[in-house]
């Protein structure tokens, strides 16, 4: 099916999936880790904090692993 025929919800879901994939990829590349990237990642996580339980654990773990040694601060795991 062509993108032009997708509903707005399908387009937004596809865009969100691609954005998350790109952010995870960038976090895994030491040359792409910049304060700006961390600002974007923090913003995406903050925007979706109400959905945190719906994000697959492997995605959360991939983001945490990529950020673990690169950020100048510690990420605390929230108790849910």
Residue 56: what pLDDT?
77
Residue 39 lies in a domain: yes
Residue 80: what pLDDT?
57
> How far apart are the C-alpha atoms of 20 and 26, rounded to whole Å?
10
Residue 14: what pLDDT?
92
Residue 17 lies in a domain: yes
Residue 74 lies in a domain: no
Residue 57: what pLDDT?
77
Select from 75, 7, 54 the least CA-distant residue to 20: 54
Residue 45 lies in a domain: yes
Go through 8-22 and write b for each residue having 16 or more CB atoms within 10 A of its CB, e for each that does not: eeeeeeeeeeeebee
pTM over 0.85: no
Residue 73 lies in a domain: no
> What is the extent of the structural domain holding 30?
6-68
Residue 10 lies in a domain: yes
Task: Give how many domains the chain has, as a whole number.
Answer: 1
> How far apart are the C-alpha atoms of 16 and 59, rounded to whole Å?
13
Q: What is the mean pLDDT of each run of 10 residues along the chain (80 residues)?
A: 83 91 92 90 84 74 74 63
């Amino acid at each position: 099916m062509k993108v032009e025929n997708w509903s707005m919800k399908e387009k937004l879901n596809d865009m969100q999936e691609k954005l998350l994939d790109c952010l995870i990829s960038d976090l895994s590349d030491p040359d792409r880790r910049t304060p700006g990237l961390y600002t974007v990642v923090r913003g995406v996580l903050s925007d979706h904090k109400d959905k945190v339980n719906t994000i697959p654990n492997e995605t959360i773990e991939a983001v945490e692993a990529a950020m673990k040694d690169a950020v100048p601060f510690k990420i605390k795991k929230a108790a849910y």
